[in-house]
Amino acid sequence: MKSNQINALRSAAEKKRETSIKNLNEAILKMQHEGLPISIGSVATCGGVARSWIYSNPEIKAIIDINRKGADKITRILDLRSQLDTRDKKIIALKQRNKALSEKIKKLRKQLEEVYGQLYVVASS
């Protein structure tokens, strides 16, 4: 290979690396803003790079490790609490709906009983 080809390859590789680092930083910021858990796999997926590339670049891996240290536990706890609150609200709503439907069924059974009684009277006459 000629030296100008080698230089062009090096330049392209460096541009790709810089773009990947920029994408990863944006992915980390986006994930932090949205409250998503930060891990190497999730950042790689969001940033559009391979996990192996992150593992092969210690400074990138260190950035992710720093950002995920305290955020993971807090995010997981907040996510669980949010999920439990949502589930509790759904349970309450379903219990109320169940109670309303049970009352409606009782009313309909009573109406049906009355109609059968009226039919019996009409059929007997």
**Which residue segment(s) compose the domain that 28 sits in?**
3-124
pTM of the model: 0.50
pLDDT of residue 29: 86
pLDDT of residue 94: 96
Number of domains in the chain: 1
Q: What phi-psi label fits residue 48: left (phi over 0), alpha (psi between -120 and 50 degrees) or beta?
A: left
Closest-CA residue to 47 (of 71, 3, 17, 72): 17
Question: Can you give the pLDDT at residue 117?
Answer: 93
Q: Which of 87, 90, 88 shows the shortest CA–CA distance to 98?
A: 90
Q: Block means of pLDDT (10 residues each) for the chain, length 125 residues?
A: 85 90 88 80 88 88 79 65 89 97 97 94 87
Which pLDDT belongs to residue 109? Answer: 97
Exposure string of 38-74, with b = 16+ CB inside 10 Å and e = fewer, is bbeebbbebbebeeeebeebeebeebbeebbeebeee
Angle at alpha carbon of residue 116, lines to 112 and 117, rounded to 5°: 115
| Phi and psi at residue 49, to the nearest 5° | -125, 165
Q: What is the pLDDT of residue 114?
A: 95
